[in-house]
Amino acid sequence: MRPVTASSPGGSHALAHPVTVTRRALACRSRPGDRRARLDLPVKAVRHAEATLYLECASGASGDMLAAALLALCADLDGVGSRSASGEAQAVEAPLAVEAPLAGIVRPALEAAGIDPGVAHATVVERGGLRCCRFTVDDRPGFASFAELSAAVRGSALEAALADGVAAVAERMAAAERAVHGPGGEHLHELSSLDTAVDLISVLALVSHLAPARVVALPPVLGGGTVSTAHGELPVPVPAVAALLAGLPTGGAGPAAGELTTPTGAALLSFLATEFGPLPAGRLAGLGVGGGSRENPGRPNVLRALLVEPLDRSPGHGAGLWSEDEVELLETTIDDLSAELLAEAAGQLLAAGALDVWSTPAVMKKSRPGIVLHVLARPAQRAALAEIAFRETSTFGLRVLPVRRLLLDERRATVEVEGEAVRVRLGYLGDRLVTVSPEYEDCRRAAARAGRPAKDLYDEARAAARGLV
């Protein structure tokens, strides 16, 4: 099956090869006078540079199955999952295997969002003879509408990027319900229970922790027959799922009757995945198996989450001080496109998974000033990025050059400055910290709230990050 590039926005996160990092407990901190405290995230290894998070939805997708598979994957990456004698990754073997990511990632995120963290549970079940993680949520009252959920997370102590992601998925679900049921349809009956909100927060918190370069999904199987809903008996896929997956590939009905892909699962897939297709080639770094709520005949009712490292990354020649990989540089010279349209093209290229996009000034034919647009990408991304460049710019051709990169061991931390969470990139040459780079936008936001120069908060964030290691 040929991978399909999704038009919906996806996560773009960097990862690096496995490293050991001291972790601090997650805590919610604030400074006096702040209306909104921020979740202070732990030091986090960027564990697999340019790794792909692959979601295998052969039995459909739901919020609880995604959360369960990601919990099991995090446990496997932390070394508490099990492997068979042949080395093949297996499902979680004991409840304690997923307790660490449940306690260290999911429950702190729920608490920061103002939800009782004790409502979320992870257990071990069997589906089709496979042991897997099952994620459940206590039956508690939920939110009245998606707008109420979005406002609640954005006004909570949840980290801003995570809160925005939860709100974005909720707004997708609201838009789908409005399209199907008309104005006011976003008062979805699913929200009368808390599990939809918990699933959204949990899944996005776990993906944020994993920080993959991209998310690819197997086209989800949808199920068949009919399902009972608050609107009566509806055909599968229900209208909201069809609206959320419009324009995206699916796996058809599948062998089992009933609803296999739920609105929550469809919304998360359409938000997270930048491609739909088969498992990409690479080294399997970790695997997690999440189980659904019931047994299905003919196929285990599980969703698998796999973290795949690219094959072209190899140890460098710096005595283990850095690693190397092979990428491509797409270039074109342009002299007849406005700065606004160039910026739009660059934004679309980055959103589609380009490793970097930049421009340099050039003198063109007839001594006209122009620019060279540079796009750094993996070879597998060439076709999708070339299509964007041809569609969004005025170029008639692209140069494709092979490029070899030398890469520091990169890790991530989040520190608190003036009550605001500031993300920081840490670069290690062997065991020595050589580069500390705070995210400027985080420093700018903190400076604006505190009424202080951004450069001062930048320096404070660097000092705070150095103090963590």
Question: What tokens does 241 get?
Answer: 């799922």
Closest CA to 446 of 144, 30, 132: 30
Average pLDDT (156-165) is: 90
Burial 356-366 (b: 16+ CB within 10 A, else e): ebebeeeeeee
Confidence band for 79, pLDDT divided at 50, 70 and 90: low
Quote the tokens at residue 458: 């930048």
- Together in a domain, 177 and 237: yes
Tell me the two tokens of residue 229: 């809903």
Q: How far apart are CA 421 and CA 338, in angstroms?
A: 36
Q: Can you give the pLDDT at residue 318? A: 58
Q: Do 251 and 204 share a structural domain?
A: yes
Contacts of 287 (CB under 8 A, 6+ apart): 72, 73, 76, 81, 89, 90, 304, 305, 306, 307
In a 13 Å sphere around the CA of 385, the CA atoms on its Cβ side amount to: 29
Inter-residue contact 10 to 272 (CB < 8 Å): yes
Q: What is the pLDDT of residue 273?
A: 93
CA–CA distance, 103 with 92 (Å, rounded to integer): 16
Question: 367 and 295 in one domain?
Answer: no
Please check the confidence at residue 402 and state whether its pLDDT lies above 90: yes
The contacts of residue 108 (CB under 8 Å, 6+ apart) are 26, 27, 28, 39, 117
- The predicted-structure confidence for 215-232, as pLDDT tens digits, reads as follows 999 999 998 887 777 667
146-150, 182-186, 259-263, 276-280: range with lowest mean pLDDT? 182-186
CATH number at residue 359: 3.30.70.1380
413 located within any domain: no
Q: 2: closest CA among 267, 306, 249, 223? A: 249
Are residue 309 and residue 346 in the same domain, yes or no? no
Q: What is the pLDDT of residues 310-322, one digit of tens each?
A: 765 555 555 568 8
Q: Which pLDDT does position 419 carry in this prediction?
A: 85
77 pLDDT band, cuts 50/70/90, is confident
Is the confidence at residue 93, as pLDDT, over 50? no
Residue 144, pLDDT > 50, answer yes
288 & 353 share domain: no
Within a domain: 412: no
Same domain, 275 and 390: no
Answer yes or no: do 50 and 167 share one domain.
yes
Give bridge partners of residue 258 from the DSSP assignment: 224
Shared domain for 37 and 97, answered yes or no, is yes
How many domains are contained in the chain? Answer: 3
Structural domain range at position 332:
323-407
* Tokens found for residue 216: 């690819």
Asked whether residue 285 falls in the same domain as residue 347, the answer is no
- 137 with 269, same domain: the answer is yes
Q: Same domain, yes or no, for 352 and 278? A: no
Burial of 348 (0-12, 13-18, 19+ CB in 10 A): middle
Q: What is the pLDDT of residue 314?
A: 57
CB contact burial 264-291 (16+ within 10 A = b; e otherwise): bbbbbbbbbbbbbbeebebeebbbbbbb
In this predicted structure, what is the pLDDT of residue 230?
Answer: 66
Between 467 and 205, the higher pLDDT residue = 205
Last residue of a domain, one of 266, 293, 313: 313
Co-location of 215 and 359 in the same domain: no
User: SS3 sequence, the chain?
Assistant: CCCEECCCCCCCCCCCCCCCCCCCCCEEECCCCCCCCEEECCCEECCCCCCEEEEECECECCHHHHHHHHHHHHHHHCCCCCECCCCCECCCCCHHHHHHHHHHHHHHHHHHCCCCHHHEEEEEEEECCEEEEEEEECCCECCCCHHHHHHHHHCCCCCHHHHHHHHHHHHHHHHHHHHHHCCCCCCCHHHHECHHHHHHHHHHHHHHHHCCCEEEECCCCCEECEEEECCEEEECCCHHHHHHCCCCCCCCCCCCCEECCCHHHHHHHHHHCCEECCCCCCEEEEEEEEECCCCCCCCCCEEEEEEEECCCEEECCCCCCCEEEEEEEEEEEECCCCHHHHHHHHHHHHHCCCCEEEEEEEECHHHCEEEEEEEEECHHHHHHHHHHHHHHCCCCCCEEEEEEEEECEEEEEEEEECCEEEEEEEEEECCEEEEEEECHHHHHHHHHHHCCCHHHHHHHHHHHHHCCC
Task: Give the separation between CA 264 and CA 192, rounded to whole angstroms.
Answer: 14
Q: Is residue 318 part of a domain?
A: no
